Amino acid sequence: MPERQQLYLHQFLKEKPDLNYRNPTVRTYIEQVLDFWLQEGIEGFRFDRTPFLIENNTLPDNPPNPHRHNDTCEDWEFCSLAPAHNVYQSEIVDIVRSWVELCNAHEVATKRTIITIVDAPAYGQDFMHTKTGVTIVENPDLFFSSTIGSVPRAYGH
């Protein structure tokens, strides 16, 4: 923000600054937004880019990506770095669990199916297991409501 001489973190578009999910006020506000839409009758959510919700607290630089393929990545700058410090931090499990539990509680209370889809790309599932001890296959209720399973997503095509 040039007028304030301040910086903010963004992982994707510069117009989309990251929220600080380590801040309990931010987490509470997001849950209130989800609750609002559930009360309005929304039938589900797709939580996109969840691996990027929390960054390493010290914000170290990611190392160069030795497996970068310029021809399959639309954002060369993003793909030039290996996602080592900005994805799959252990705290995301509690955040996502609270969102899924909120959706499941509405599902029970309203007797409506609430579809909850969480973006956890295949390339990160082993990394997620290493960081958190959780895998998508072994714990589907953590990441998906009981009414839907894994939804594959293609990258680079």
The answer as to whether 114 is a domain residue is yes
What is the separation, in whole angstroms, between the first and last Cα of the chain?
34
Tell me how far CA of residue 48 lies from CA of 17, 60, 80, in angstroms.
15, 23, 21
Domain assignment present for residue 134? The answer is yes
Portion of the chain with pLDDT greater than 90, in percent: 19
User: Do the domain assignments include residue 152?
Assistant: no
Average pLDDT, stretch 61-83? Answer: 73
Token pair for 119: 């973006």
Bin 41: left if φ > 0, else alpha if -120 < ψ < 50, else beta. left
pLDDT of residue 145: 39
DSSP for 93-124, written as a single string:
HHHHHHHHHHHHHHHHHHT---EEEE---GGG
Looking at every residue in the chain, the average pLDDT score rounds to 74
Pairing, β 44-47 against β 115-118? parallel
- Token readout for 73 is 């990545």
Residue 98 has pLDDT above 80, yes or no: yes
Residue with tokens 């380590």: 22
113 in a structural domain: yes
| Residues β-bridged to residue 118 | 47
Mean pLDDT of 5-12: 78
| 155 within a domain of the structure (yes/no) | no
Task: Specify the number of domains making up the chain.
Answer: 1
pTM of the complete model = 0.69
Is 52 inside any structural domain? yes
Percent of the chain with pLDDT over 70: 67
Helices vs strands, H then E, count in the chain: 5, 2
**Cα angle at 141 between 148 and 134, to 5 degrees?**
125
Q: Is residue 117 a contact partner of residue 147, using CB atoms and an 8 Å limit?
A: no
| Residue 112 belongs to a domain | yes
- Identify the domain containing residue 97 by its residue range: 24-60+86-143
